[in-house]
Amino acid sequence: MAEDLAARIAAKQDELIALTQDLVRIPTLNPPGAHYRDICEYLRKRLSLEGFSCEMVRATGAPGDSDRYPRWNIVARREGSRPGDCVHFNAHTDVVEVGQGWTRDPFGGALEGDRIYGRGACDMKGGLAASIIAAEAFAEAHPDHAGAIEISGTADEESGGYGGVAYLAEQGYFSPERVQHVIIPEPLGHDRICLGHRGGWWAEIETRGEIAHGSMPFLGDCAIRHMGAVLDAFERDLFPAMAARRTALPVVPDGARHATMNINAIHGGEPEQASDYTGLPACCVPDSCRIMIDRRYLVEEPFEAVQGEVIAILERLKAERPKFDYALRDINRITPSMTERDAPVVTTVSGAIRDILGQDPDYVASPGSYDQKHIDRIGRLKNCIAYGPGELELAHKPDEWISVAAMVSSAQVMGRALEKLLLPEG
Ligand SMILES: [Zn+2]
């Protein structure tokens, strides 16, 4: 049976290529969140023909949602002929900006040899196309399957997922009563299972001073020097402490197994002038300096401890350093997520990888987050992985591409997983 379905999927290779090209050619750039309705309409037309009932859901009022750029999502569901579990494939439909350095049309979907090029080909329209072909081939081969198959195309993953999976999860679309297994075909590789991701905390730290004439800085208080003390304390205490922590989650690349922090931006003093401004700077002691931190934390680190060690450093400086004052503003929090290795979706997909590829899967976790966080925290659904074709390193890069062979293999694995989950003899 496994070979029948795998052969049926291999025979759909041209259809898989055409579908991927069609999806790449819809420029669903985020920001601003363009053409979400168009891509949902495209998916609705296609999946309706295959026996899926489709719901279009606008995330009204979500961040970024407006009449000009509405946050449309689609949830398609195909009922089997008997009771059973529901297997849900979730893909985000948005893509990041094009950026510089392309040698192909970013929305052309050119096929060259084994590769389809385009923004979003790898992250993650190729994965979406593979899951659709897998589900359609499975439904054609086994029209009397048990349970249900769902396919969703969701908005805004690249900007936090609040107008996409988070919204759907709040509406109950990912409740454990409705959905039992979730596979997110993000580009982690057709032979790897991604169990989850690290957490994240974005915050702005501001140090405050007092403005004065720059020739007499002793009459003011320099906010940038205070920030220098903050950065120095981070270098001496925080970065070594983070580097000493290592997670049991198999995060790739290896450097991301440690707790990390990026300082995204620093701003202080006089604002930068436009490049055509020919005047000289004014002489002022800066009264404010701000940095943006992006702290990625491990599943083993409680959020309160992550935030607490930054606050402890700032409070220590406040006690030790004359006139030091600060403000700390939360920008965003991401909950870390890790699915257990013996969860049903993990053992099923690893069995499918063994059946199709003849090898054991690698288990990995993602350094950055993806929509699993919302399915876990809001949906309370723990049986979720990322599994899909493509190389993560190509995501967001110029000349992004997806391998047709990897899409076919991963579609075969997804089809095999459906057999194991939705056929009694699977
Ligand atoms: Zn993605």
pLDDT tens, 105-140? 999 999 999 999 999 999 999 999 999 999 999 999
CA 396 – ligand 1 centroid, Å: 9
CA 125 – ligand 1 centroid, Å: 9
Question: What's residue 393's pLDDT?
Answer: 86
Q: Read off the pLDDT of residues 93-113 as tens digits, 9 standing for 90 and up.
A: 999 999 999 999 999 999 999
416/426 Cα distance (integer angstroms): 8
Number of domains in the chain: 2
Indicate whether 173 and 298 sit together in one domain: no
Spell out the SS3 assignment of 38-58: HHHHHHHHHHHHCCCEEEEEE
The pLDDT of residue 211 is above 70: yes
The pLDDT of residue 1 is above 80: no
Indicate whether 176 and 306 sit together in one domain: no
Confidence band, pLDDT 50/70/90 cuts, at residue 272? confident
CA 384 – ligand 1 centroid, Å: 15
CA 186 – ligand 1 centroid, Å: 5
Helix or strand holding residue 313 (H, E): helix 303-320
Indicate whether 143 and 229 sit together in one domain: no
Question: What's residue 395's pLDDT?
Answer: 87
Indicate whether 217 and 232 sit together in one domain: yes
Which two tokens mark 52?
């899926």
Q: Read off the pLDDT of residues 358-373 as tens digits, 9 standing for 90 and up.
A: 999 999 999 989 999 9
Cα within 13 Å of Cα(337), Cβ side = 28
CA 291 – ligand 1 centroid, Å: 27
Which of 334, 369, 387 is the last residue before a domain boundary?
334
Indicate whether 329 and 341 sit together in one domain: no
Contact 367, 253 (CB under 8 A): yes
Which two tokens mark 74?
């689609």
Active site residue 112: no
Indicate whether 221 and 360 sit together in one domain: no
Helix or strand holding residue 222 (H, E): none
Question: What's residue 299's pLDDT?
Answer: 93
411/78 Cα distance (integer angstroms): 18
Which of 334, 355, 381 is the last residue before a domain boundary?
334
Indicate whether 250 and 268 sit together in one domain: yes
Catalytic residue of the set 65, 123, 150, 157: 157
Contact 385, 250 (CB under 8 A): no
The pLDDT of residue 426 is above 80: no
Question: What's residue 392's pLDDT?
Answer: 86
pTM for this model (two decimals): 0.89
The pLDDT of residue 2 is above 90: no
CATH for 191: 3.40.630.10
Which of 334, 364, 399 is the last residue before a domain boundary?
334
CA 123 – ligand 1 centroid, Å: 5
Indicate whether 121 and 138 sit together in one domain: yes
- Percent of the chain at pLDDT > 90 equals 94
Contact 123, 390 (CB under 8 A): yes
CA 342 – ligand 1 centroid, Å: 25
CATH for 325: 3.30.70.360
CA 322 – ligand 1 centroid, Å: 47
Confidence band, pLDDT 50/70/90 cuts, at residue 390? very high
CA 395 – ligand 1 centroid, Å: 8
What is the residue-averaged pLDDT of the chain? 96
Indicate whether 117 and 236 sit together in one domain: no
Question: What's residue 103's pLDDT?
Answer: 97
Question: What's residue 281's pLDDT?
Answer: 87
Contact 79, 173 (CB under 8 A): no
Indicate whether 75 and 204 sit together in one domain: no
Catalytic residue of the set 94, 123, 136, 371: 94
Confidence band, pLDDT 50/70/90 cuts, at residue 25? very high
Domain that holds residue 228: 200-334
